[in-house]
């Protein structure tokens, strides 16, 4: 079954048709910079452009960096605040002329990792953390998703965790891998104390460089890099959109 997956991020919007049986892209992915400001109509236009690029006529799964319930956007940490209260499903359906399922970006990435990546075959409590513009989280208990966890907004030293330990902060502050690893460790230690997870999966584009910072992560829980890197959101969005068929 082939479904178009689109991943809306703080810096880029990317999409590709996905074989939901194998998790493989069926065409080269297309990436377009996220508009500034990232208001609903502007983002919807880019999503429509991606759908037109692939001449897409079927279901579309689309991620969004916010709490999303039944297609309604409830938060806006890394996108324009005018998204709050927007019916994302309806907006993107108008832009693409296709049925759309909108969901939290980290939840989508987690679904992909649990089915095709580093979480495959793991039970117990599995945390997927995506380190990018912000910090996204997905939590699975015996394979079942607890949606919209948004653990990147846990307060660490008086700030949202993502304002201390995201990959954006690492780059902006020019932190060494060791210093950044200590910040990530601080967050992982806090989550470990609260939830006693069985596995941490570290995703986002920076996970491709895991050998640079994993030696600086010091927690009791097993930590592994994501296998799907920045493709996880696209794949997970397509998996979620199977519910539209």
Residues 215 and 129 in one domain: yes
Range in 26-30, 106-110, 227-231 with the lowest mean pLDDT: 227-231
State yes or no: cis peptide before 93, omega within 30 of 0: no
Q: How confident is the model at residue 69 (pLDDT cuts 50, 70, 90)?
A: very high
Domain for residue 112, yes or no? no
Same domain for 221 and 198: yes
113 in any annotated domain: no
| Same domain assignment for residues 153 and 101 | no
- Give the model's pLDDT for residue 133: 85
On whether both 213 and 238 belong to a single domain, the answer is no
Residues 98 and 125 in one domain: no
One domain for residues 77 and 139: no
| Pair (20, 99) in one structural domain | yes
Asked whether the beta carbons of 194 and 218 are under 8 A apart, the reply is no
Classify residue 201: in a domain, yes or no.
yes
C-alpha to C-alpha distance for 165 and 152, rounded to whole angstroms:
9
- Helix or strand (DSSP H, E) at 108: helix 105-116
Please tell me whether residues 98 and 129 are part of one structural domain: no
- According to the model, what pLDDT value does residue 229 have? 86
Q: What is the CATH number of the domain that holds 61?
A: 3.30.420.40
- So what's the pLDDT on residue 99? 98
Query: Does some domain include residue 50?
Result: yes
Domain housing 183: 121-227
pLDDT of residue 79: 86
Structural domain tally of the chain? 2
Residue 1 vs residues 120, 202, 235: alpha-carbon distances, Å: 20, 28, 12
pLDDT tens-digit series, residues 153-195: 999 999 999 999 999 999 999 999 999 999 999 999 999 999 9
For the chain, the average pLDDT equals 96
Dihedral over alpha carbons 245, 5, 105, 44 (to 10 degrees)? -100
pLDDT at 192: 97
Would 116 be classed as within a structural domain? no
Q: In whole angstroms, how far apart are CA 115 and each of 4, 63, 73, 211?
A: 17, 17, 26, 24
**pLDDT tens-digit profile of 119-140?**
999 999 999 999 988 899 999 9
Give the pLDDT score at 58: 96
Crossing angle between the packed helical segments 40-53 and 88-96, to the nearest 10 degrees: 40
């Amino acid at each position: 079954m082939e479904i178009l997956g689109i991943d809306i991020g703080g810096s880029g919007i990317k999409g590709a048709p996905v074989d939901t049986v194998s998790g493989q892209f069926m065409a080269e992915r297309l990436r377009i910079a996220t508009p500034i400001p990232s208001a609903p109509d502007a983002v919807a236009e880019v999503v429509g452009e991606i759908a037109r690029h692939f001449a897409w006529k079927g279901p579309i799964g689309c991620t969004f960096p916010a709490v999303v319930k039944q297609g309604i956007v409830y938060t806006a940490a890394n996108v324009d605040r005018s998204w709050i209260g927007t019916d994302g499903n309806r907006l993107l359906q108008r832009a693409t002329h296709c049925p759309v399922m909108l969901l939290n970006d980290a939840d989508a990435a987690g679904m992909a990792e649990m089915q095709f990546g580093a979480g495959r075959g793991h039970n117990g409590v599995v945390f997927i953390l995506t380190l990018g513009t912000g910090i996204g989280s997905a939590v699975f208990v015996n394979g079942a998703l607890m949606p919209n966890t948004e653990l990147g907004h846990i307060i660490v030293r008086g700030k949202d965790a993502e304002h201390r330990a995201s990959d954006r902060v690492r780059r902006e502050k020019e932190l060494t891998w060791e210093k950044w690893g200590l910040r990530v460790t601080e967050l992982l230690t806090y989550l470990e104390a609260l939830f006693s997870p069985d596995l941490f999966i570290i995703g986002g584009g920076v996970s491709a460089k895991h050998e640079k910072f994993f030696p600086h992560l010091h927690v009791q829980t097993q930590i592994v890099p994501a296998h799907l890197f920045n493709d996880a959101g696209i794949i997970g969005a397509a998996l979620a959109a199977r519910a539209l068929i």
